[in-house]
Chain A
Amino acid sequence: MVTAITSRQCRAVLGRLAQTVPVLFGVVVISFLLTRALPGDPAAYFAGAAADADSIEQVRESLGLDKPLPQQFLIYLGDLARGDLGQSISTGQPVASDLASRLPASLELTLMALLLSCCLSIPLGVMAAMRPGSAIDHLCRVVVTAGVSLPTFFTGILLIYIFYYLLGIAPSPLGRLDFIYLEPDRITGFYLIDAAIARDWETWTGALKQLILPAITLALFTLAPIARMTRAAMLTALSSDFIRTARAAGLTERKVLFVYAFRNALLPVVTTLGMVFSFTLGANVLVEKVFAWPGIGSYAVEALVVSDYAAVQGFVLAMAVLFVLLNLCIDLLYTAIDPRIGFDAQ
């Protein structure tokens, strides 16, 4: 019976992935058209300031930009089918390898930030819901409002000023790893994981030290939605009839709170978490700039400024794929939390 369920779920997952193909194709078309529609001429930029009309034209030809749009699109599609995302004209590297090095940096930062944020906001939300109107409820409100109203670049600079400049306990905010450490062998691209696999605890500590300040900066910004949603969902769950049944049966307050109320409150929290994850990943470019973090956000902005078509398209496509996978994960989580939701029923 167990295997039957898993094979059915596998098929459902594959079916869901197949459904996303048209979406991804739409993303490819739109990102292609939008990059072309933006002002700016990559050929002129690439040819340099001293170039004359002839050399610009030469560069244009070599980039394939002289061809009509439909033909350019077909060539792009053909490249995509081979797994070739093209060449970035600003870094000179293949876009695929740029993304491969920068995406894990962003993911590591975002995930760490969300982890910190959840560790703080979920207990805060639960405690606020247990005693609405109490001191802890007000504290929760103040903390999350402060977190969301301070811009990330400001919090980032403030943290650097205090912990690096004044106290000197944080390393210099210059990227993912101080130059005294060697980069760990690349397996996942996440320094913390790679260093742990290599059992290089010195590097691991170094990477963590670099990570902690930007992660806190981002975490403060994402506290609000998670804490507020946890509070609201817990309040709803705690006022449900089944909580009264559990209390009338004499169950301990801990059991009532965590096994009965909290698990029922998880669903909206997970939904919010997914949304927060997507907007943080896309919007952490300011934090990346402040901490010189080689992430995907700053990469995309730089590429956009110079009309680096391949890089921008690659970025958009990568994000689209990431969101598709994220939504799939959240749907699978739903089914794990709530037996009423059948995955194949959707």
Chain B
Amino acid sequence: MLSVRNLAVGFQTRRGFVSAVRKLDLSLDKGEILGIVGESGSGKSVSSYALLRVLDAGGSITAGEIHYSGMDLRAISEKDMRDIRGREISMIFQNPRAALNPIRTVGSQIEDVLRRHAQASSQNAREKAIEALQAVKINDAEKRYHAYPFELSGGMCQRVVIAIALACNPQLLIADEPTTGLDITTQKAVMDLVRDLIRERGMSSILITHDLGLAAQYCDRIMVMKDGEIVEQGEPTSLFSQPSHRYTRKLVDATPREGDSIRALLPPEARTPEPARSLSTDILLDVQDLTKTYQGKSGPVQAVKGISLQIAKGQSVGLVGESGSGKSTTAEMLVRLLDPSSGSIVFNGQDIAGIAADDFARHPLRSDIQMVFQDATDSLNPRHTARQTLAEPLKRLGRLRKRELGSRIEELADLVGLPNHLLNRFPHQLSGGQKARVGIARAIALEPSLLILDEPTAALDVSIQAVVLNLLVDLRARLGMSYLFVSHDLHVVRLLCDHVVVMKGGEIVESADADSLMSNPQHPYTRELLSAAPSPPERRISARV
């Protein structure tokens, strides 16, 4: 149905022509779901934009052929192409909220497509739009018809994007990271919905994702892309059991799966034995009945409803929950950036809940509780070099002077595996993984006894996530720190934590030893979280340690 031969795509940039995709060959049969997997910069999204000829400014197809149902998509006019888009080939995008026009009701946006492709007249457009909303299983579709995107949740918005894409019954659906940024249970719901709709209507689909596990679960065939080229393709099970390309093997390894140790995420040659560490029974942090109430527009909103948890010295506790569960609010209160409404936070025998967040910055305990933030890019000052970023806490809280400062910074860089020559670079000159290292180095600069990690790997590619998680394991053993690891991903949390706390709606629903929680979840919500995570096929190759 779709065949692409020798496709090359490039971008005209200020620094000259950059080739994004090279020699892409691809064929898709009717009813087939093809997965294209790759990390950021691999050219997977660009290839899909090229198929529909919706490349960003400066981008162009430089070579190759695209044939769809006997039509040459490179040769036909822009006008004919517009008829094909949405009618024959549709697309859904990542970040669904941004993918919808913020100031137009979702109903009108669906109607626009229906009427453009003559699927509805002005009389029955409304009716058809509501039908399209019902098809993507939106409750109360008649009411949602009048909603603006900002009034809907992320998962709801993605359903609307799907409704727009499928409104005119296209034959091919291209899904570009359709679940990035969505909660794991929402991801499952959205992906199941997409799969069912595709099967129901006998459509073909291309799923573009960075998540090998997700692709394996939903696709008939997977292509792995790296630096603009396809490095390997095959059926999910064979790809997982016998990855032939080095890069595929690395990706397969880095995808967390049940039962494996954290070192198994790394390529075999990097799997050093896990360092030993000492766990004590002394309580480092004791949180009792912590609450946080915000003053919302329509009355008070209770974000955290009285939670209690303990962290022992050297222990790592995982705090798991989806967006809106109150996990980030809890983390911010514990790191004393936010004042709790009530409850106590006893750290090393001292209640620090009563110290105002503003005063805590000058408190001697400040250097003992540090945080690694979610977005490595946004949490670094863009005008500070890595060296200046690391110097800040050392100067302010550590009171280090010139020579000491310089040697300590280099020591820290060594500790997190950041080459010394990168210290004089600005954040935009560093890669995602390097920025994550700077963020971690800044947090451990003062040798805190408690490190709070707020989804430190959420924005990273899996292979880099594997490296960063292992770095955290090494640092923990070396510095004897306790971790509070905040995440939405139980599989990642399990790798790093001794104890796991599951939060939902501002309350703790389950709190247990990591292994027993994974093997024998008690609360239905925990079970839901576990089953929603994509489970990659078993890897049959021996994990060479």
CB distance from B82 to the nearest CB of A (A): 5
Binary A-proximity of B72-111 (CB < 8 A = 1, otherwise 0): 0000000000111111001101010011111110000000
Report yes or no: B98 in contact with A242, Cβ–Cβ below 8 A.
Answer: yes
Pick the contact of A260: B91, B95, B101, B161 (CB < 8 A). B101
12 example contacts (A-B, Cβ-Cβ < 8 A) are as follows A239-B56, A239-B57, A241-B99, A242-B100, A247-B54, A248-B93, A249-B165, A251-B116, A252-B116, A263-B103, A264-B103, A337-B103
- B-contacting 9-mer, from A10-18, A20-28, A51-59, A338-346: A338-346
Tell me, rounded to whole Å, the shortest Cβ–Cβ distance linking A127 to chain B: 16
User: Is A250 interfacial (CB-CB < 8 Å)?
Assistant: yes
Chain B contacts with A in 254-283, Cβ cutoff 8 A: none
- Inter-subunit contact B103/A340 (CB<8 Å): yes
Q: In the complex, which residues of chain A have a beta carbon less than 8 angstroms from the beta carbon of B84?
A: 250
Given contacts A244-B54, A250-B87, contact A339 B99 (CB under 8 A): no
* Other A-B pairs beyond A249-B165, A260-B101, 18, CB < 8 Å: A241-B95, A241-B98, A242-B101, A244-B49, A244-B54, A244-B99, A245-B100, A247-B54, A248-B54, A249-B112, A250-B116, A251-B86, A260-B104, A339-B103, A339-B150, A340-B102, A340-B103, A345-B297
- B152 vs chain A, min Cβ distance (A): 12
B93 and A244 contacting across the interface, CB-CB below 8 Å: yes
In the complex, the answer to whether B113 meets A251 with C-beta atoms within 8 Å is yes
* A74 interface residue per 8 A CB criterion: no
Q: How many angstroms between the C-alpha atoms of A250 and B164 in the bound complex?
A: 11
Q: Is B52 an interface residue (CB 8 A)?
A: yes
- Interchain CA distance A244-B96 in the complex, whole Å: 12
A249 touches B90 (CB 8 A): yes
Cα A263 to Cα B100 in complex, Å, equals 14
By a CB distance below 8 angstroms, the chain A residues around B164 are 245, 249
- Given the complex, which residues of B lie within 8 Å of A239, measured CB to CB? 56-57
How many residues of chain B are within 8 Å of chain A by beta carbon? Answer: 32
A259 to B101: give the CA distance in the assembly, Å: 10
Answer whether residue B148 sits at the interface, using C-beta atoms and an 8 A cutoff.
yes
- Annotate B291-311 by CB proximity to A: 1 below 8 A, 0 otherwise: 000000100000000000000
A67 within 8 A of B: no
Residues on B with C-beta less than 8 A from A345 are: 297
Measured between C-beta atoms, what is the minimum distance from A120 to chain B in Å? 26
A340 CB, min distance to chain B CBs, angstroms: 5
A241-280 CB contact bits vs B (8 Å, 1 = yes)?
Answer: 1101111111110010001100110000000000000000
Please measure, in the bound complex, the distance between the C-alpha atom of A250 and the C-alpha atom of B200, giving whole angstroms: 23
Q: A303-344, CB under 8 A of B: which get 1 and which 0?
A: 000000000000000000000000000000000011110000
CA distance A249 to B90 in the complex (A): 6
Q: Are B148 and A246 in contact (CB under 8 A)?
A: no
Nearest 9 A/B pairs, CB to CB: A250-B86, A250-B85, A249-B86, A241-B98, A248-B91, A242-B101, A249-B113, A245-B99, A241-B99
Given contacts A339-B148, A340-B148, contact A250 B82 (CB under 8 A): yes
Structural contact, A338 and B85, CB atoms closer than 8 A:
no
Main SS class of interface, A = helix
Report the bound CA distance from A252 to B113 in whole Å: 10
With A and B bound together, what is the CA distance between A240 and B150 in angstroms?
Answer: 16
Residues of chain A contacted by B54 (CB below 8 angstroms): 244, 247-248
From residue A234, how far is it (CB to closest CB) to chain B in Å?
A: 13
The answer to whether the Cβ of B117 comes within 8 Å of any Cβ in the partner chain is: yes
Cross-chain pair count, CB within 8 angstroms: 81
Mask, B161-172, CB within 8 Å of A = 1, is 100110000000
User: Would A252 and B103 be within 8 Å (CB), given that A240-B98, A259-B112, A345-B297 are in contact?
Assistant: no
A295 to chain B, nearest CB (A): 37
Partner of A248, one of B52, B56, B297: B52
Interface flags for B393-430 (1: CB within 8 Å of A; 0: not) read: 00000000000000000000000000000000000000
Tell me the B115-156 residues at the A interface (CB within 8 Å).
Answer: 116-117, 148, 150
B102–A242 touching, CB < 8 Å: yes
Among candidates B49, B85, B95, B102, residue contacting A249 with C-beta atoms closer than 8 Å? B85
Question: Which chain B residue has the least Cβ–Cβ distance from A261?
Answer: B101
Q: CA of A239 to CA of B55 in the docked complex: distance in angstroms?
A: 11
Smallest Cβ-Cβ distance to A267: which chain B residue: B103
Q: Smallest CB-CB separation from B100: which chain A residue? A: A242
Contact of A338 among B56, B83, B103 (CB under 8 A): B103
State in angstroms the CA–CA spacing of A338 and B117 once bound together.
28
Contacts of B297 in A (CB 8 A): 345
**Alpha-carbon distance between A242 and B102 when the two chains are bound, in angstroms:** 8
- Indicate which residue in B82, B91, B165 contacts A252 across the interface (CB closer than 8 Å): B82
Note all chain B residues with C-beta closer than 8 A to A240. Answer: 98
* Contact pick for A340, options B86, B87, B150, CB 8 Å: B150
* Bound-complex Cα distance A264 to B56 (A): 19
Residue of B nearest to A243 (CB): B101
The CA-CA distance from A340 to B102 in the complex, in Å, is 8
A337 to B91 CA separation, bound complex (whole angstroms)? 28
For A263, give the chain B residue with the smallest CB separation: B103
A263 to B87, CA, bound (A): 25
| Distance to closest chain A CB from B116 (angstroms) | 5
Chain B residues positioned under 8 Å from A251 (CB to CB): 82, 86, 112-113, 116
Instruction: Give the distance in Å from the alpha carbon of A137 to the alpha carbon of B95 in the complex.
Output: 32
Interface centre among A239, A246, A259, A339 (most CB of B within 10 A): A246
Task: Write the nearest CB–CB distance from A210 to chain B, whole angstroms.
Answer: 41
| Contact A248 B101, CB 8 Å, known A241-B95, A259-B112 | no
Measured between alpha carbons, how far is A300 from B104 in the docked complex, in Å? 46
Please provide the chain B residues from 143 to 195 with a CB less than 8 Å away from any CB of chain A in the complex.
148, 150, 161, 164-165
Question: A248 to B103, alpha carbons, bound, how many Å?
Answer: 19
Which residues of B lie under 8 Å from residue A252 when comparing CB positions?
82, 116
Q: A255-B116, A340-B102 are in contact. Are A250 and B83 (CB under 8 A)?
A: yes
Name the residue on B nearest A240 (C-beta): B98
A245 pairs with B85, CB closer than 8 A: no
Q: Which residues of A contact B85 (CB under 8 A)?
A: 247-250
Bound together, the chains give a CA A271 to CA B128 distance in angstroms of 38
Contacting residues, chain B, for A244 (C-beta < 8 A): 49, 54, 93, 99
Complex Cα gap A247–B49 (Å): 11
Chain B proximity of A254: nearest CB distance (Å): 11
**Chain A residue contacts of B112, Cβ below 8 A:** 246, 249, 251, 255, 259
Most buried by B among A264, A338, A339, A340: A339
Chain B contacts of A339 at CB under 8 A? 103, 148, 150
Min CB–CB distance B208 → chain A (angstroms) = 13
Q: Which residue of A lies closest to B148 (CB)?
A: A339
Q: Quick one: CB contact mask for A217-253 with B, threshold 8 Å, 1 for yes?
A: 0000000000000000000000111101111111110
A248 and B100 contact, Cβ closer than 8 Å, known pairs A255-B112, A255-B116 = no
In the assembled complex, the Cα of A255 lies from the Cα of B111 at a distance in Å of 12
